């Protein structure tokens, strides 16, 4: 079974631009979560999608948005990029969402550099 | 709000020796999960071990074990017989649970970089 895939793996943008990152979960997984990883902050939760609905959201500005498609693939969009948005963006998928424990499986990440 | 603290930015261990990584957390919840994740230089994060808060017995996975002290809100990871392949960034994580809404989110520490010396 293929793992979580993220595209692109590397991205360089300039301030003010917008960017879209993509995540394909493991086949059969319906929950996708997004994280921002920076050296000083560790991993910070952005949001989680399940069945095309945002189920949970972290403390990020509205410039960060996402969506999920009917095939469970998810996209994350960042508008009006700032230098501080430079980070590794990780996607994680799990079978379902809710009170029961479902292991998260992480993708390799997309390294975003904002110049 | 829940927090997770890893006070050791970097640790070193000699191959075949034992090392313990520290993690403390703060929460007012009584039911939750705790995890240790490993992120090798290739960047793919993988789950090392998990602990359910309601279980008193410490979790063990081969050479990896935890010391879970619920009252002290401490959750350390012990790696025995360290191997070169254990070199990675290790993250401690807390999974909250909100029974009324049925949703949860993960809170991660800032990580501990483990170096294994040959």
Which regions in chain B score pLDDT beneath 50? Answer: 99-102
Distance CA B5, CA B11 (A): 15
Which positions ≥6 away from B60 have C-beta within 8 Å?
Answer: B49, B66
The reported pLDDT for the residue numbered A42 is: 85
Mean pLDDT of chain A, nearest integer = 92
Whether residues B105 and A45 touch (CB distance < 8 A) is answered with yes
Q: Whose CA is closest to B32, among B76, B110, B108, B98?
A: B98
Residues in B closer than 8 angstroms to A48, CB to CB, are 103, 105
Instruction: Please give the residue that has the higher pLDDT: either A103 or B118.
Output: B118
* Of residues B44, B102, B108, nearest to A99 (C-beta): B102
Q: Please name the residue of chain A whose CA is at the shortest distance from the CA of residue B95.
A: A101
pLDDT digits (tens, 9 = 90+) for A33-57: 999 999 878 899 999 998 899 988 8
Indicate yes or no: CB of B44 within 8 angstroms of CB of A108.
Answer: yes
| Percentage with pLDDT > 90 across chain A | 77
Pairwise CB contact (< 8 Å): A104 & B106: yes
Residue A91 pLDDT greater than 90, yes or no: yes
Distance CA B68, CA B50 (A): 10
Q: pLDDT-based confidence at A113, cuts 50/70/90?
A: very high
The partner residue sitting opposite B97, judged by closest CB among A48, A99, A109, is: A99
Contact: B43, A88; criterion CB under 8 Å: yes
Mean of pLDDT values over A13-34? 96
């Amino acid at each position: 079974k293929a793992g979580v895939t993220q595209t692109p793996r590397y991205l360089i943008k300039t301030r003010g631009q917008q960017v879209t990152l993509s995540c394909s979960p493991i086949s059969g997984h319906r929950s996708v979560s997004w994280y921002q990883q920076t050296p000083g902050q560790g991993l910070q939760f952005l949001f989680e999608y399940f069945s095309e609905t945002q189920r949970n959201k972290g403390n990020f500005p509205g410039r960060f948005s996402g969506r999920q498609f009917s095939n469970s693939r998810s996209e994350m969009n960042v508008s009006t990029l700032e230098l501080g948005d430079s980070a590794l963006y990780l996607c994680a998928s799990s079978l379902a969402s809710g009170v029961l424990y479902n292991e998260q499986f992480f993708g390799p990440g997309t390294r975003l550099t904002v110049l | 709000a829940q927090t997770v603290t890893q006070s050791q930015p970097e640790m070193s261990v000699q191959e075949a020796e034992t090392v313990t990584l520290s993690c403390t957390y703060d929460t007012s919840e009584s039911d939750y999960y705790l995890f240790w994740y490993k992120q090798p230089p290739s960047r793919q994060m993988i789950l090392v071990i998990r602990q359910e808060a309601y279980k008193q017995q410490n979790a063990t996975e081969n050479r990896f074990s935890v010391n879970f002290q619920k009252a002290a809100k401490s959750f350390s990871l012990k790696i025995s017989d360290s191997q070169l392949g254990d070199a990675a960034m290790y993250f401690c994580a807390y999974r909250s649970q909100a029974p009324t809404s049925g949703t949860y989110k993960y809170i991660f520490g800032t990580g501990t970089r483990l170096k294994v010396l040959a």
